Amino acid sequence: MNRIKEKLQEDKKLLSLYFTAGYPAIDDTVSILTQLQESGVDMLEIGLPFSDPLADGPTIQESSTAALHNGMTTEKLFSQLDGIRETIHIPLIVMGYFNPMLQYGVEKFCKRCQEIGIDGIIMPDLPLAEYEAEYKEIFEKYGLINVFLITPQTSDARIQQIDAASDGFIYMVSSASTTGAKSGFGNSTEDYFKRIAAMNLNNPQIVGFGISNEETFKAATTHQKGAIIGSAFIKHITKNGANSVASFVETIR
Amino acid sequence: MILENNTSYQADERGYYGDFGGAFIPEMLYPNVEELRSQYVQIMQEPSFQEEFKQLLKDYVGRPTPLYYAKRFSEKYGTKVYLKREDLCHTGAHKVNNTIGQILMAKRLGKNRIIAETGAGQHGVATATVCALMGLECIVYMGAVDIERQAPNVARMKMLGATVRPAMSGSRTLKDATNEAIRDWINNPVDTHYIIGSVVGPHPYPDMVARFQSVISEETKKQLLEKEGKENPDYVVACVGGGSNAAGLYYHYLDEPEVGIIAVEAAGKGVDTGESAATSALGREGIIHGSKTLLMQTDDGQITEPYSISAGLDYPGVGPMHANLFRSGRGEFISVTDADAMTAGLELSKLEGIIPAIETSHALAIFETRKFKKDDIVVINLSGRGDKDLNTFIEYFNL
């Protein structure tokens, strides 16, 4: 069974962390993955950096620019990840933008992911219609779960459509915004969490965007299965170094 | 304005021009783009919309713009050259045709906040202008580098009441300003309309902007009929950055196979110098700003920074309509260097008393090498005037 699906069956709230591959230094990838697993994180999103990350706020933009400057490429990331399954057992998801995947070759990309032991893909700018028309078969051939996003503005009909197309979890964007930690959630965000929970979707939801600390993690996981932290973690390692992973995770739960 | 897409070189239902186009957008943008996509054709077809659009184009923009027979220029190059005088539009370029259309669209969609991106500042000025006209809030994203290079246009936007926000990310130029505008739209999905300045971006933008700009070829047909007794020239010529002035001039000629389509891109310092913006020569198929098109990128799919002396042509992609014209062979693509464009701009000034924008000068420069028959009728889109480029001309020619 796909590691993501297995993990989703565990009776606990899931903590997932995102980091930009190749940041702060080009060769930090494996070390950060290892520390995250040791700290008890449930799932990992490995960010493949892109020159023009439209859905991201300044923190991930800057880490992506730095990672590209450090020499990170799709092939470089895959070569760093070769053999990773000897030590890392939690689900791994590659998150990035569609153009680098397209240039690498969608099928070749998926094949490499399978060889490495990647479980899922998140490509925010590969929309549902394009995915289903052109790429679904390829993703499935290589056992990759494609994760779709919803936002507070997504209509119920579209959420149902996305739920039907999903086979793992739905990435629930907490607010109408790009990535980057804010100070907390308001009442309307909680209403949104409740509203989606009440829809009784087939796929569990994991909340991302704006989760930065214990308080926001708890708020996001009251009604949903888990939460993803990205920008706040990147800020932490920017300040405290690539070996400071545990001290961040400890503050969350 | 023809509102039916009836040729194979137009966008299909899904916003594809052949292999190019579509809407590669994150889900956060889906409601905004879908709202526009599902309504834009219907809104544009409403009689009240058409009436208001046409009246503003006439009374505010100053349309129809003349189709001028460039006698001395024609004599020099031994062919018949007409200039479609978009430089005489209010604000000095064709850009305002689109911003007038989109501000009326925004009002009908109930939006009260307008955002835009700008490179050299022409689209920013055209957007700030229509926002002033309609009394709507206007925020223009502009690369921090461009803000320094284009101070007069920044001042114009401020006079018109717009807020100019510097894009500090990436290379701090047009592509980054576009990224910032898209991020703003993600953060403000309900009350905001994004006025994209060219035939780029996710569907329906390339088609919608082309329709607003199509007034250029609609007028050209009528005017040529008066002057030459036929609607169709032998060639239509336009410069292409993103490609909105070109889309406007080509629009009603796309399905007229006897009309040759010539697209002129900026070669910068030379196509092979690494400092160029000739997307058809240097680009590969990829995704930029929500559209599948030809774009300049690394082998790894990172979007690269183009170069041209003209700030309006240094976009790393090209509209999907043009990518399809290139791939299908319907369009003839020519690239022109900085030096040849500057010379051509100076030449038109002296021969015809018209100082063109440097963007437009690229289109004028092809006559040195691309030869036409004596009785060929060639229409060039004189897309903008050169006032904004005066400093560049002064420095370049030591005027």
Q: pLDDT tens digits, residue range B316-327?
A: 999 999 999 999
DSSP annotation of B386: S
- CA-to-CA distance for B295 and B16, rounded, in angstroms? 16
Q: How many CB atoms lie within 10 A of CB A84?
A: 18
* Bridge pairing between strands B260-268 and B235-239: parallel
Neighbours of A6 (CB within 10 A): 12
Active site amino acids of B = 95, 117, 383
Put simply, whether B274 touches A (Cβ < 8 Å) is no
Tell me whether A102 touches chain B (CB under 8 Å). yes
Where are the strands (E) in chain B, listed by range?
16-17, 20-21, 67-69, 80-84, 113-118, 137-143, 163-167, 192-195, 235-239, 260-268, 284-288, 291-295, 331-337, 377-381
The pLDDT value recorded for residue B173 is 86
Q: Is the pLDDT of residue B314 over 90?
A: no
Contact map slice: A 122-141 vs B, CB within 8 A: 124-127, 129-130
Pair type for strands B291-295 and B331-337: unpaired
Band (pLDDT 50/70/90 cuts) for residue B343 is very high
The CA distance from B106 to the nearest CA of chain A, in Å, is 19
Q: Which two tokens stand for residue B86?
A: 């978009």
Residue B336 near residue B349 (C-beta atoms within 8 A): no
User: Quick count: other Cβ atoms within 10 Å of Cβ A83?
Assistant: 12
Task: Give Cβ neighbours of residue B233 (< 8 Å, ≥ 6 apart).
Answer: B82, B220, B224, B259, B377, B378, B379
Task: List all residues 6 or more positions away from B299 whose beta carbon is below 8 Å from its beta carbon.
Answer: A103
Task: Give me the helix-helix angle, A187-197 and A214-221, nearest 10°.
Answer: 40
Q: Are B254 and B323 in contact (CB under 8 A)?
A: no
Closest residue to B183, CB basis, from A73, A148, A178: A178
C-alpha dihedral (B50, B55, B57, B58), degrees to nearest 10: 140
Contact yes or no for A50 and B302 at CB 8 A: yes
Quick one: B349 exposed, middle or buried, by C-beta within 10 A (0-12, 13-18, 19+)?
middle
DSSP state of A133: I
Query: Contact A100/B286 with Cβ under 8 angstroms?
Result: no
Residue B4: pLDDT over 80: no
Structure tokens that stand for A168 in this block: 């793992």
Query: Nearest C-alpha of chain B: how many angstroms from A46?
Result: 17
Q: Residue A250, Cβ neighbours under 10 Å: how many?
A: 11
Cβ-nearest to A51 among B22, B183, B302: B302
What does the pLDDT read at residue B171? 78
Q: Are strands A205-208 and A170-173 parallel, antiparallel or unpaired?
A: parallel
Interval B213-243: pLDDT, tens = 999 999 999 999 999 999 999 999 999 999 9
Residues B203-213: tens digit of each pLDDT: 999 999 999 99
Cβ partners under 8 Å of residue B118, min gap 6 = B124, B125, B127, B140, B141, B142, B146, B153, B174, B177, B197
Q: Give the tens place of pLDDT for each residue, B124-136.
A: 999 999 999 999 9
Contact A46, A67 (CB under 8 A): no
Interchain pair A153, B301: CB under 8 A: no
Asked if residue B335 lies in contact with residue B306, where contact means CB atoms within 8 angstroms, the answer is no
Instruction: Supply B367's token pair.
Output: 């006559």
Pairwise CB contact (< 8 Å): A176 & B27: no
Considering chain B, what is the average pLDDT of its residues? 95
Q: Do B26 and A153 touch (CB under 8 A)?
A: no
Strands B377-381, B291-295: pairing kind: unpaired
In chain B, which residues have their Cβ closer than 8 Å to the Cβ of A100? 300-302
Q: What angle do CA B199, B166, B211 make, to 5 degrees?
A: 15
The residues, any chain, with a CB within 8 Å of residue B337's CB and separated by 6 or more, are: B267, B268, B269, B270
pLDDT at residue B1, as a whole number: 42
How many residues belong to chain B? 399
The whole-angstrom separation of Cα B50 and Cα B3 is 11
In this predicted structure, what is the pLDDT of residue B73?
A: 98
Predicted confidence at residue B3, as pLDDT, reads: 45
Distance from B179 to chain A by nearest Cα, in Å? 6
What are B135-177's pLDDT values in tens digits?
999 999 999 988 988 889 999 999 999 999 999 887 788 999 9
pLDDT of B57:
98
Q: Give tens-digit pLDDT for B255-291.
A: 999 999 999 999 999 999 999 999 999 999 999 999 9
Mark yes or no for CB contact B302/A100 under 8 Å.
yes
**Token digits for B19?**
């292999």
> What does the alpha-carbon distance between residue B216 and residue B97 come to, in Å, rounded to a whole number?
9
- Confidence (pLDDT) at B97: 98
Nearest Cα residue to B220 out of B11, B17, B380, B96: B380
Would the CB atoms of B187 and A178 count as touching at under 8 Å? yes
* Measured CA distances, B308 to B151, B241, B279, B339 (Å): 18, 10, 12, 10
Q: Please, which residues have CB within 8 angstroms of residue B148's CB and are 6 or more apart in sequence? A: none
Amino acid, single-letter form, for residue B261: I
Rounded CA separation A93/A131 (Å)? 17
Q: Which residues of chain A have pLDDT under 70?
A: 181
pLDDT at A181: 63
Q: How far apart are CA A147 and CA A36, in angstroms?
A: 21
Average pLDDT on B81-97 reads 98
Q: Is-above-0.80 flag for pTM?
A: yes
**Segment 149-178 of chain A within 8 Å of chain B by CB:** 149-151, 153-155, 158, 162, 173, 176-178
CB contact under 8 A, A52 and B170: yes
**Tokens 């906040």, located at residue:** B113
Going by C-alpha positions, the residue among B311, B319, B183 that lies closest to residue B245 is B319
Q: Which residue of A has its CA nearest to B175?
A: A52
Are B267 and B336 in contact by the 8 Å Cβ rule? The answer is: yes
Best CA proximity match to B121, nearest among B85, B173, B161, B181:
B173
pLDDT value for A165? 97
Backbone angles phi, psi at A50, to 5 degrees: -135, 145
With a pLDDT cut of 70, the percent of chain B lying above it is 98
Q: Which chain A positions have a beta carbon within 8 Å of B23's beta carbon?
A: 127
CB < 8 Å to A48, chain B: none
